[in-house]
Every structure is written in C-alpha cells, then in structure tokens.
C-alpha cells in the first residue's frame, strides 16, 4: 500500500535548490501543489515534471480564478492521459477520445 503524499508549503520554483531537486527527481510534488516563480503574489499550480528533459509543467495565473482553474484541470487531465498512454494503458485513439472530454 502506498504512502499518501502531503502538500508542502508554497514553493518558489526559481529557488535553485528547489528547481534542481525537482528536475533531478529528488523532490516529488503532487499535482496541484501551490508554487510560485519568484513572485509570491501570483501563485501557480504544479502539474508535472519530466526529469529526462528537465521540463516542469505549471499553470500560471491567467487573469481570473475561473480561467486559471479550468486551465489547471485540463493540463492535469492531459498529464494523466499522457502517463497512461506512455505506460501502454490506453491507445492513441482512446487518448484522443478522452482528451476531447476535457477540452475547456
């Protein structure tokens, strides 16, 4: 049985130590973890990280709470589908069909 992860206090992704730990895989964040990129006034939401190419996917403020939330829900769903596709759990056709359900 897996251990439940806990959300951490809001993290600054522009902090070199945080960024390095995240892209190296030493730090694992839950989808939806509150983060910020230098500016504490505009929080973002963590979606995923690709440790192979050192890519962090985060949803930033888009002008309104509703727009930002919708964008986060869509991107989190796409990250989940990508993970399922990469693991061979769904086909490309299933991916396309499921992705349409999440289109804002």
Domain co-membership, 76 together with 43:
no
Domain co-membership, 57 together with 69:
no
- Report pLDDT for 89: 97
Domain co-membership, 43 together with 57:
yes
Domain co-membership, 68 together with 40:
no
Closest among 103, 99, 100 to 79, alpha carbons compared: 99
- Report pLDDT for 5: 76
- Number of domains within the chain: 2
Q: How many helices (H) and strands (E) does the chain have?
A: 3, 4
Domain co-membership, 70 together with 41:
no
Domain co-membership, 93 together with 56:
no
CA–CA separation, 8 vs 22, rounded Å?
Answer: 13
CA–CA separation, 36 vs 48, rounded Å?
Answer: 14
CA–CA separation, 97 vs 42, rounded Å?
Answer: 34
Domain co-membership, 4 together with 38:
yes
**DSSP codes joined into one string, 38-72:** S-TTS-EEEEEEETTTTEEEEEPP-SSHHHHHHHH
Q: Which residue has the higher pLDDT, 58 or 62?
A: 58
Residue-wise pLDDT tens digits, 6-61: 899 999 999 999 999 999 999 999 999 999 998 888 899 999 999 889 899 999 98
Domain co-membership, 50 together with 1:
yes
Domain co-membership, 44 together with 85:
no
Domain co-membership, 35 together with 85:
no
Q: What is the span of the domain harbouring residue 67? A: 63-104
Cα distance from N-terminal residue to C-terminal residue, the chain: 35
């Amino acid at each position: 049985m897996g251990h439940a992860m806990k959300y951490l206090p809001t993290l600054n992704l522009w902090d070199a130590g945080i960024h390095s730990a995240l892209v190296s895989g030493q730090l694992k964040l839950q989808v939806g973890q509150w983060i910020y990129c230098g500016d504490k006034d505009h929080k973002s939401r963590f979606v995923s990280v690709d440790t192979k190419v050192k890519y962090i996917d985060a949803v930033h403020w888009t002008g309104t709470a509703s727009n930002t939330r919708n964008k986060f829900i869509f991107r989190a769903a796409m990250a989940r589908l990508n993970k399922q596709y990469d693991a061979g759990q769904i086909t490309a056709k299933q991916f396309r069909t499921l992705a349409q359900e999440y289109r804002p």
